[in-house]
Structure 1
């Protein structure tokens, strides 16, 4: 085989795991030089030389003296790691270059994080169908490996997740419910088949009863969010504000609302125009849509900060951002679009944030 053939990239192929096994066996056999190994594998001597240099690892003898040796398994692992890095760099600079630049600009320039990573991927596909777009898990992997000028701080939900431990569940179902139990809620509501069924809760800044709070209402079918600022979170205040919301928007919007069993909601069974249901004590998962929405609100309004510092305009903008996000559960439509479809198909829905 001529040297010209070795130098031709047209005939070059990567060393396989079997080739590396042969290299290890011959390299450890007396009398086999690099050129003889290359001739046996029909490779260029430079290829074998580079492979031996790149695949060597430091070993420790029984007398604690170190030495370098070539082992096929280790060399194969190192090769795969290099290929993975080269693959990532290739797509950063080539195939997905436009998408990653677009994503970086969107995230860094936005006052709020307008979409989830999944939402950004599908929005990009809508806006630029001719450009290649990676999958959502691929973007997460790039973030984890530090290959983008972004990091996981843009994913607060991911950062605050805790590993669940077995054997720490407590049975607290004996606490008295404030009103009608969620167990009596119709199956059609549980399966999200009907429109106008809501979940509600309070988002608090400082946990002082006379501090302002946010009453958040999430429509179960569309995931549409309404946010109202309360001057405090006394039970009577929650009752008065919720009644004003229902009166102002119309009972046709509110077939039912499900709250937790907190003391601030103890008077809500007196509300007129809708049916109030109460979750089991200490079971926020029974209001999963609202809990998820409250977690997104925490990106914009962190815990421990008084809500006196957040204006009506800011809260309205936050509500608009949440309702404009593309959601996988809605087929990558926004909550605002789905809500408009079911509530007022022929008119634009306007839901200003009220402060009472």
Structure 2
């Protein structure tokens, strides 16, 4: 089989070079199946590797060349069988003769009665290179309890936010420090982390395995050119001027109930629209009229939506009711409403996919909105959206 070495006991082990090639291809955005083909693995073997490591690339650093590769071990086996001495093999490889000598000495088979075998030597080297070192959360119970509590609290902090918060809450305790990447790995790579597997549901994605990025496709335009996002004032792009909003819907099961999300681009402040009985244009219009006009006029400059049918037919009436100009994203371009897409992901921690949103009450939405608006944001200098909006309103009143 391509890409494996056969050990003395058990199943063949995949070469570390092949695994590294698979992760490199996967990290470039290729699907697991295509990345497996690039590395010379079967789809089954690739799937097993992904599950074993929780979708996290286990080898962050490229090989430094210090250790012998499988190709070098095969050359050692060939030249040794041809009668070459240690010094000659070292000269041909460009390695110190003592390196070759140690390699041959540690891989003696049947007390020297059987020749050096590259596959057995590689299998042994890979097993010895494994690091069963305990992760920080596995040995620091206080830190693990803090991280677990922050992941499941009302504000549903992300690993990056938790990592940034630790020096604030524990300024004099250096043991209470951890990187966000370590938190992710402690959740995804079970058996080595110190966090419960079910905490994966507290992450904004809710996934138990990391997924590579996917490319979006294209579809035909649905709105006139003059209403596209390219016509939106430039002041909305750099977030320097408040009052520019992004909006969208999240749909429940069986598809009747929905929640509307309105996010102010500068402060990231969230307003949630209650749509338990449907999301037609009239229902969305009524919900917007109930919420957005409660803000001062200077905070109602524009609203950017996707090309959903619920907004395409009512955009003129929304503009009249709120005073905000309505613009639409390009087809199949959710990144043009990146703030709103991020907010929808956060909101799904309160209302997971597949949930019947007809049962959601106004009180439920108020609770979720308070959690989102009280959530620390790196982009706001670790302030909350509520604090940022309050500061904007104070500046406008001055």
So what's the TM-score if we normalise by structure 1?
A: 0.69
Q: Which residue of 1 aligns with 2:270?
A: 225
Cα deviation, 1:317-348, whole Å, max 9, x if unaligned, reads 1111111222222232222222222123699x
In structure 2, do the counterparts of structure 1 residues 178 and 251 end up closer, same or farther at CA, with 3 Å as the change threshold?
A: farther
Does residue 290 (structure 1) correspond to residue 340 (structure 2)? The answer is: yes
Which runs of 5 or more structure 2 residues have no equivalent in the other structure? 1-65, 68-95
Q: Is 1:304 matched up with 2:346?
A: no
Alignment partner of 1:277: what SS?
strand
Equivalent positions of 1:216-295 (< 5 A) are: 216-230=261-275, 231-265=277-311, 266-271=313-318, 272=320, 273-295=323-345
- Greater radius of gyration (CA): 1
In 2, distance between residues paired with 1:193 and 1:93? Answer: 44
Is the CA contact 1:196–1:254 (under 8 Å) kept in the aligned structure 2? Answer: yes
Deviation at 1:162, TM superposition (A): 5.4
Distance in 2 between residues matched to 1:306 and 1:215, nearest whole Å: 15
Question: How many matched pairs?
Answer: 288
* Cα gap change, 1:26 to 1:290, in 2 (>3 Å): closer
SS at match of 1:299: coil
Query: Which digits, 9 at most, give the CA deviation of each residue in 1:9-63, with x for residues without a partner?
Result: xxxxxxx978875444346789x99xxxxxxxxxxxxxxxxxxxxxxxxxxx99x
- 1:344 alignment partner, SS class: helix
Instruction: Report the counterpart of residue 241 of structure 2 in structure 1.
Output: 194
Select which of 371, 376, 395 maps to 1:326.
376
Q: What SS class does the counterpart of residue 130 from structure 2 fall into?
A: helix
Runs (4+) off by over 6 Å: 16-20
The match for 1:137 is 181
**Aligned ranges 1:1-356 → 2 under 5 Å:** 22-26=101-105, 71=121, 76-82=125-131, 85-86=132-133, 88-89=134-135, 91-92=136-137, 96-107=140-151, 110=153, 112=154, 114-132=156-174, 133-146=177-190, 147-151=193-197, 152-157=200-205, 159=207, 163=212, 169-173=217-221, 175-177=222-224, 180-206=227-253, 208=255, 211-230=256-275, 231-265=277-311, 266-271=313-318, 272=320, 273-344=323-394
Q: Any conservation in 2 of the 1:177–1:278 contact (CA below 8 Å)? A: no
Indicate how the Cα distance of structure 1 residues 274 and 170 shifts in structure 2: closer, same or farther if over 3 A, else same: closer
Please give the root-mean-square deviation of Cα atoms over the aligned residues, in Å. 3.6
Partners of 1:142 and 1:162 lie apart in 2 by: 16
Give me the TM-score of the superposition, normalised by structure 2: 0.62
Contact 2:202 2:349 (8 Å CA) reproduced: no
Query: CA contact under 8 A between 1:199 and 1:258: conserved in structure 2?
Result: yes
Distance 2:156 2:108 in 1: 62
Q: SS of 1:134's equivalent?
A: coil
Deviations 1:63-121 (A, max 9, x none): xxxx9x984x6555444323xx22x35x3465x5532231124445x3x4621111111
Question: Per the alignment, do residues 92 and 232 of structure 1 end up closer, same or farther by CA in structure 2, a change over 3 Å counting?
Answer: closer
